[in-house]
Structure 1
Amino acid sequence: MTATTSHKLSVVEKIGYSLGDLAANLIFQTLVTFIAFFYTDVYKIPASTATSIIFFCGLAGAFFNPVMGMIADRTRSRWGKFRPWILWTSIPFGVIALLAFSTPDFGPEGKVIYAFVTYFLLVIIYSANNLPYSALSGVLTGSMAERNSLSSYRFVAVMVAQFIIQVLLLPLVLILGDGDKAAGFENTMTLFSVVGIIFFLITFFTTKERVVPTAEQTGSIKQDFVDLFTNKPWIVMLVLTILVFVTLALKGGMYIYYFENYLSEPDIALFLNDIGFNGFIAGLNSALTSMGLTTFHWPEDAATSGFSLFNAGGIIFMIVGIGFSKGLADKYGKRNVFASALLVSTLFMLLFYVYPSDAIGLVFLSQVLHGFFYGITIPLLWAMIADVADYSEWKNNRRATAIIFSAMIFGLKAGLSIGGALVAGILAMYNYDADLAVQSPETIHGILTAVSIYASIPFLLGVAAMFVYEINKTMELQIEQDLIDRRSSQLAE
Structure 2
Amino acid sequence: MIQQNAQKLSVVEKVGYSLGDLAANLVFQTFVTFIAYYYTDVYGLAPDKAQWVIGTCGLLGGVVLAPIIGALADRTRTRWGSYRPWILFTSVPFAVLIFLTFSTPNLGETGKLIYAFATLLLLMSLYTSNNLPYSALSGVLTGNMAERNSLSAYRFVAVMVAQFIIQALLRPLVLVMGDGNEAVGFEKVMQIFAIASVICFVITFLTTKERMQPEKSDNSIGQDINDLFHNWPWAVMLFSVVLLFITLALKGGAYVYYFKYYADTQALTQFFNTIGFTQLITTIQGIWPNFKWPTEPDASAFGLFNGAGILMMIVGIGLSKPLADRFGKRNTFGVGLFISTLFILIFFAIPKDAIGLMFTSQILHGFTYGVTIPLLWAMIADVADFSEWKNFRRATGIIFSAMILGLKGGLTIGSSVLVGLLAGYGYQRGLALQADETIDGIRLIVSLYASIPFFAICVLMYFYPINKKMETQIESDLNERRKAAGK
Q: Give the letter aligned to residue 443 of structure 2.
A: L
Q: Counterpart of 2:55?
A: 55
**What secondary structure does 2:353 align onto?**
coil
Any idea what SS the aligned residue of 2:288 has? helix
In the TM superposition, 1:328-407 aligns within 5 A as 328-407=323-402
Shift of 1:252: 1.9
The answer (yes or no) to whether the contact 1:7–1:210 under 8 Å persists in 2 is no
The CA distance in 1 between the partners of 2:235 and 2:83, in whole Å, is 24
Matches within 5 A, 1:46-195: 48-62=48-62, 63-103=64-104, 106=107, 109-177=110-178, 181-195=182-196
Give the Cα separation in 2 of the matches to 1:238 and 1:127: 16
Distance 1:307 1:35, change over 3 A: closer
Secondary structure, in 3 states, of the residue corresponding to 1:7?
coil
State whether residues 3 and 488 of structure 1, in contact with CA within 8 Å, keep that contact through their aligned partners in structure 2: no
Sort the Cα spacing of 1:109 and 1:357 in 2 relative to 1 into closer, same or farther, 3 A: closer
Equivalent residue in structure 1 for 2:306, among 295, 304, 311: 311
Alignment correspondent of 1:266 = 266
Q: Provide the residue aligned with 2:223 in structure 1.
A: 223
Identify unmatched segments of 5+ residues in structure 2. none
Paired amino acid for 1:283: T
Which of 430-439 and 151-160 deviates more?
430-439
CA contact (8 A) 2:243 2:453 kept: yes
* Corresponding residue for residue 238 of structure 1: 238
1:60/1:489 CA distance change after superposition, 3 Å: same
1:469 correspondence with 2:464: yes
**Offset at 1:95?**
2.2
Change (3 A) 1:425 1:101: closer
Aligned mates of 2:406, 2:466 — CA distance in 1: 20
Q: 1:436 to 1:283 in 2, by over 3 A?
A: closer
Note the C-alpha offset of 1:64.
Answer: 0.4
The answer to whether the 8 A contact 2:61-2:125 is kept is yes
Paired with 2:10 and 2:293, the residues of 1 have a C-alpha distance of 40
Displacement of 1:109 after TM fit?
A: 4.9
Structure 1 gap ranges (5+): none
SS of match in other structure, 2:393: coil
Q: Which residue number in structure 2 is paired with residue 252 of structure 1?
A: 252
- Contact preservation (8 Å) 2:37, 2:253: no
How far did residue 470 of structure 1 move?
A: 0.5
The 1:426/1:183 distance shift into structure 2, 3 A limit, reads closer
Q: Deviations over 1:434-481 (max 9, x none)?
A: 6583633x6555443443333222111111111110001111111111
Distance of aligned partners of 1:355 and 1:111 in 2 relative to their CA distance in 1, 3 Å threshold = closer
Distance in 2 separating the partners of 1:386 and 1:52: 33
d(CA) in 2 for partners of 1:243 and 1:50?
Answer: 22
CA distance in 2, matches of 1:105, 1:261: 28
Deviates more, 1:448-457 or 1:5-14: 448-457
In 1, Cα distance between equivalents of 2:259 and 2:184: 29
Identity of aligned residues (%): 58
Alpha carbons of 1:275 and 1:124: their partners in 2 closer, same or farther (altered >3 Å)? same
Q: CA deviation at 1:81?
A: 0.9
Q: The residue matched to 1:491 in structure 2 has which SS?
A: coil
Q: Structure 1 357/158 Cα, relative in aligned 2: closer, same or farther at 3 Å?
A: same
Q: Distance in 1 between matches of 2:439 and 2:111?
A: 40
SS at match of 2:351: coil
Q: How many angstroms does 1:343 deviate by? A: 1.2
* Secondary structure, counterpart of 1:150 in structure 2: helix
In structure 1, give the amino acid aligned to 2:120: Y
**SS where residue 59 of structure 1 aligns?**
helix
Tell me the CA shift for residue 75 of structure 1.
Answer: 0.7
The one-letter amino acid paired with 1:395 is K
Q: Aligned partners of 1:46, 1:443: CA distance in 2, in Å?
A: 16
Shift of 1:424: 4.0
The CA distance in 2 between the partners of 1:49 and 1:361, in whole Å, is 36
- Structure 1 residues 231-279: Cα deviation after superposition (integer angstroms, max 9, x where no partner): 0000000111111112112222333343345443322221121001111
Relative to structure 1, the CA distance from residue 367 to residue 46 in structure 2 (aligned partners, 3 Å threshold; closer, same or farther) is: closer
Please report how far the alpha carbon of residue 111 of structure 1 lies from its aligned counterpart in structure 2 after TM superposition: 4.2
- Shift in CA distance, 363/45, structure 1 to aligned 2, threshold 3 Å: closer
1:280 aligns with 2:280: yes
Q: 1:456 to 1:67 in 2, by over 3 A?
A: same
Inter-CA distance 106–247: structure 2 relative to 1 (3 Å threshold):
closer
Amino acid at match of 1:341: G
Cα distance change, pair 180–301 in 1 and its aligned pair in 2 (3 A): closer
Assess, with a 3 A threshold, how the Cα gap between structure 1 residues 109 and 177 changes in structure 2: closer, same or farther.
same
Distance apart, 1:341 and its partner CA:
0.6
Please say if residues 35 and 253 of structure 2, whose CA atoms lie closer than 8 Å, have aligned partners that are also in contact.
no
Computed over aligned residues only, the root mean square deviation of the Cα atoms, in angstroms, reads 2.5
> What's the TM-score once normalised by structure 2's chain length?
0.92
Does the 8 A contact of 1:345 with 1:371 survive in 2?
yes
1:439 aligned residue: 435
Give 2:293's aligned residue. 297
Contact map agreement 1:433 1:439 (CA 8 A) in 2: no
**Change over 3 Å in CA distance of 1:178–1:354 after alignment to 2:** closer
Q: How far apart are 1:114 and its partner, in Å?
A: 3.6
Contact 2:36 2:419 in 1 (8 A): no
Aligned AA (1:11): V
Q: Which letter does structure 1 place at the counterpart of 2:12?
A: V
Tell me how far 1:173 sits from its aligned partner: 3.2
Sort the Cα spacing of 1:438 and 1:178 in 2 relative to 1 into closer, same or farther, 3 A. closer
Cα–Cα, structure 1 residues 65 and 278, in superposed 2: closer, same or farther, change >3 Å? same
CA distance in 1, matches of 2:31, 2:244: 19
Q: Which amino acid aligns with 1:306?
A: A
**Aligned partners of 1:247 and 1:114: how far apart in 2?**
28
- For 1:363, the aligned partner's letter is M
> What is the distance in 2 between the residues matched to 1:36 and 1:342?
25
2:421 & 2:477 partners in 1: Cα distance? 49
Kept in 2: contact 1:353–1:448 (CA 8 A): yes
State whether residues 261 and 439 of structure 1, in contact with CA within 8 Å, keep that contact through their aligned partners in structure 2: no
Q: Does 2:200 correspond to 1:199?
A: yes
Structure ranking higher on relative contact order (CA contacts 8 Å, 6+ apart): 2
Say how many residue pairs are matched: 485
Output the CA distance in 2 between the equivalents of 1:421 and 1:44: 16
